[in-house]
Amino acid sequence: MEMPNATRVPLSVRAQEAAVGLLSRLPTAVRARMAGPEVVVDDARLAVDARLLIRSLGARKSALVVDDSPELSRAALERSAPMLRAGRRPSQAVGVSDVRLRGAQGLLDATLYVPASGRDRSGALVFFHGGGWAIGSRAGYDHVGRFLAERTGHRVLSVDYRLVPEAPFPAAVDDALAAFDDTVARAREFGVDPDRIVVGGDSAGGTLAAVTARRAADRGDGPVPVGQWLLYPATDLAARHPSRDRFGQGFLLTDEDIVWFQDHYVPAGVDRTDPLVSVLYGTVAAATPPAHLVTAGFDPLRDEGERYAEKLRAAGVPVEAVREADLPHGFLPFVHLGPRFGEAVSASAEALRRMLD
């Protein structure tokens, strides 16, 4: 069953989608002129797609946080989500149905994406959306779920875990592990091979996927994902890394945003070096699954993500680490907003396909 907001969209929003779609398909030279001056940091050039997107935000202090309010921030993000489709019709090559997974304290809403070309028992990605653990939703990532299912030929389960501040840490990490376990237990129902399930996500969702992979490997019994697909995850909530000072202003995710999200996520008194909070700490078990870990060159979280790739390697975990040097944090949902975004997401989708095949 299609989600309601995937089919009934106000005309004004459709017009905005069409305008964004037209802009994303203009010749690169035209878009480059519209994007303004080049941005170069440490010999890396910010992609035209990213410059154009950032310029479109104007003088807004934050692209994510509205009036220090989780509720207003969520509403603003959901209003803008249709524009991320850039006027594209939902792919008919992917079947979509709403399901429920067992969370840590009750049922979680989720969406199952099934590619028309998919096998009866395919692999699956259990996907956790980004949004600083406070905003975002599976509805806002609907176009991402469709894209990944179609490109990989495997199923995608996109999960609405509990958000802060209503459900502070460890609610989200507990929901993530429970959702993975329930997917494995119900693999036949979902048409999934239980031995080919990857956990993944972007930003805060990438953090949840990394924690889930570690917890599954640490517990000694129970299923373990076959891989972890991590796009620009937050791995260290206890310390600052140089990229946070280098890119903490002007590149979509600001230093103020990071502080706001982290302070809402982790209650006072919780040790931020706890590996359930910050996967950069603690001992990595030998059974931890292989990782595809992507960082963005203009991302304040870049350095901590790359340090986590090094930590996994040092523990003997196979890691495919990729830096998309010309992109900012958060590029996964921008897959349809320009050729460079599409190229980067397609490359990670291909890596996901290899993990699931």
Confirm whether 1 is domain-assigned.
no
CA-to-CA distance for 308 and 290, rounded, in angstroms? 13
Candidate list 122, 137, 203, 278, residue with the active-site label: 203
Mean pLDDT of 76-97: 84
Candidate list 182, 299, 303, 326, residue with the active-site label: 299
Confirm whether 56 is domain-assigned.
no
CA-angle at 152, arms to 298 and 286, nearest 5°: 70
Mean pLDDT of 45-69: 85
> What does the pLDDT read at residue 6?
38
pTM: 0.93
CA-to-CA distance for 138 and 109, rounded, in angstroms? 9
Confirm whether 139 is domain-assigned.
yes
Cβ within 8 Å of residue 219, ≥6 positions away: none
Confirm whether 165 is domain-assigned.
yes
Q: Is 203 one of the annotated active-site residues of the chain?
A: yes
Candidate list 241, 264, 329, 336, residue with the active-site label: 329
Please give the tally of structural domains in the chain: 1
Mean pLDDT of 61-85: 85
- Owner of token pair 């991320």: 84
Confirm whether 11 is domain-assigned.
no
CA 355 distance to own-chain centroid: 17
pLDDT band at 92 (very low <50, low <70, confident <90, very high): confident
> What does the pLDDT read at residue 63?
74
Encode pLDDT of 299-328 as tens digits: 999 999 999 999 999 999 999 999 999 999
Q: Is 299 one of the annotated active-site residues of the chain?
A: yes
pLDDT above 70: percentage of residues in the chain:
93
Mean pLDDT of 99-119: 94
Read off the CATH number of the domain in which 312 is found.
Answer: 3.40.50.1820
Whether 196 shows a pLDDT value over 80: the answer reads yes
Whether 229 shows a pLDDT value over 60: the answer reads yes
- State how far the alpha carbon of 192 is from the alpha carbons of 123, 187, 272, 290, 296, in Å: 6, 5, 36, 20, 31
Question: Largest Cα–Cα distance of the chain, in whole Å?
Answer: 56
pLDDT band at 14 (very low <50, low <70, confident <90, very high): low
> What does the pLDDT read at residue 143?
95
> Is 136 or 92 the better-scoring residue by pLDDT?
136
Whether 206 shows a pLDDT value over 80: the answer reads yes
Domain carrying residue 117: 84-356
Encode pLDDT of 265-291 as tens digits: 999 999 999 999 999 999 999 999 999
Whether 201 shows a pLDDT value over 80: the answer reads yes
Mean pLDDT of 48-61: 82
Q: Which string of DSSP letters, residue by residue, matches 132-161? A: TTTS--TTTTHHHHHHHHHHHSSEEEEE--
Confirm whether 141 is domain-assigned.
yes
Whether 11 shows a pLDDT value over 60: the answer reads no
CA-to-CA distance for 197 and 180, rounded, in angstroms? 8
Confirm whether 45 is domain-assigned.
no
Encode pLDDT of 242-272 as tens digits: 999 999 999 999 999 999 999 999 999 999 9
Confirm whether 47 is domain-assigned.
no
> What does the pLDDT read at residue 23?
79
Whether 167 shows a pLDDT value over 60: the answer reads yes
